[in-house]
Amino acid sequence: MNDQQLPTLALTLGDVAGIGPEITVRTLLDHPDLRTVCKPVVIGDAAALRKAAEVLGRSPDSVRVVDSPEAATGDPALVEVIQDGPDLGDVPYGELDPRAGDAAARFVMTACALAREGRVAGIVTAPLNKAAMHAGGHNWPGHTELLAHEFGVKNFSLVLSAGELYFFHLTTHVSLRDAIAGVTPERTDSVLRLVGSFARALGRPDEAIGLAGLNPHAGENRLFGDEDADVLAPAVERARAAGINAVGPLPADALIPAAVKGKWKFVVVCYHDQGHAPFKAVYGDDGVNITVGLPVVRVSVDHGTAFDIAGKGIAREASLVLATRRAAELAPAWHEVWATARAGEVS
């Protein structure tokens, strides 16, 4: 693949009080092989990146400001950044700062605008701090909801991925009470369609999709709730009638260990911790977070801002490297996933 064919990826810097600048510098300077699969350009703050470079013992001159994605050269010796907003070099590490929270949200908004204009093929996000983002005036539950708003989409899913394993979520950043209410026939149908389109985009249209039960033992024949029988099971039947190889609902405590052992590649869970807790316990830095249902691929690290170690030069970049690589891999076939999401928009 020549340089003209490489997807341009916008890497948003995240909260500059956290480890985002450090892991971005390490990702772009220590992994030159990434330039063989994509052309990365950071949306963020040059001063924060130069400060991080000095923390890591690198030359601040390796940070180069460009005025557009098209101006990025893909030079593996450079961190090329589009300056977005005021200089943030004086934001202290490890402290909640509204300026950093505002900037983290703004970096994402700028990346989305570039994607809407067709100037980047994907977005890779370093972590933001939700409390700082709220303090900065952006009241979104997290990255996923902000991205969905910026692209004007309703049919989307947060997906955790490690290797060939993908965990889709029916609900994410809501209370457990609201998550139960959010497991509706419409939402279940739309996510199963998304998984089916995602499987096709990966060239695996017949791969089985395991749907986790909402209740213990998937309801145990209504002993522990009716949602599995009344909502999830009919959705599986509808998906199968549409040619999607869905199976379930299955007890989560059986489905997820089997998926970790390789029996399942595509898993749908009902709420945030049903997926996140076991996934992070097993995969740690080896996982990434994908948003399926946007017009361009978006992949994120699967960790937070780590204020406790920010500025110490010890943060590991493995998840950001993996996120960048995964975004580059998925970008060329993303149109099929987007077409399904757009067709399945629900209110």
Q: What is the pLDDT of residue 47?
A: 97
Q: Give me the pLDDT at residue 60, please.
A: 96
Alpha-carbon distance 80 to 312, whole Å?
23
Kindly provide the b/e burial profile for residues 160-191, where b requires at least 16 CB atoms within 10 angstroms of the residue's own CB: bbbeebbbbbbbbbeeeeebbebbeeebbbbb
Q: Enumerate residues 6+ apart whose C-beta is below 8 A from 334.
A: 121, 122, 201, 295, 296, 297
Of 48, 79, 85, which is closest to residue 65 (Cα–Cα)? 79
Q: Which of 210, 298, 188 is nearest to 254 (CA)?
A: 210
Domains of the chain: 6-153+293-331 (3.40.718.10), 163-276 (3.40.718.10)
Task: Report residue 329: phi and psi, to 5°.
Answer: -70, -40
Q: What is the DSSP letter of 33?
A: G
- Say what the pLDDT of residue 207 is: 94
CA atoms within 13 A on the CB side of 336: 14
Q: Give strand pairing partners of 291.
A: 158, 298
Q: CA-CA distance, 108 to 172, in Å (whole number)?
A: 19
Instruction: Residue 259: name the closest of 155, 161, 154 by CA.
Output: 161
Which tokens belong to 240? 């199968």
Radius of gyration of the chain (CA): 20
On whether the CB atoms of residues 114 and 120 are closer than 8 A, the answer is yes
Name every residue whose Cβ is closer than 8 Å to that of residue 6 and which is 6 or more positions away in sequence: 35, 37, 38, 39, 74, 328
Cis-peptide into 249, omega within 30 deg: yes
pLDDT at 180: 96
Q: What value, to the nearest 5°, has the Cα angle with vertex 217 and ends 239 and 162?
A: 65
What whole-number distance in Å separates Cα of residue 97 and Cα of residue 223? Answer: 48
Three-state secondary structure string covering 2-55: CCCCCCEEEEECCCCCCCHHHHHHHHHHHCHHHHHCCEEEEEECHHHHHHHHHH
Looking up tokens 């987007």 gives 338
11: which strand partners? 42, 124
Alpha helices in 56-161 (DSSP H): 98-116, 130-135, 143-151
pLDDT in tens, the chain (347 residues): 455 589 999 999 999 999 999 999 999 999 999 999 999 999 999 999 999 999 999 999 999 999 999 999 999 999 999 999 999 999 999 999 999 999 999 999 999 999 999 999 999 999 999 999 999 999 888 788 899 899 988 778 888 988 889 999 999 888 999 999 999 999 999 899 989 988 887 788 899 999 999 999 999 999 999 999 999 999 999 999 999 999 999 999 999 999 999 999 999 999 999 999 999 899 877 888 888 888 999 999 878 899 999 999 999 999 899 999 999 988 887 877 777 666 655 43
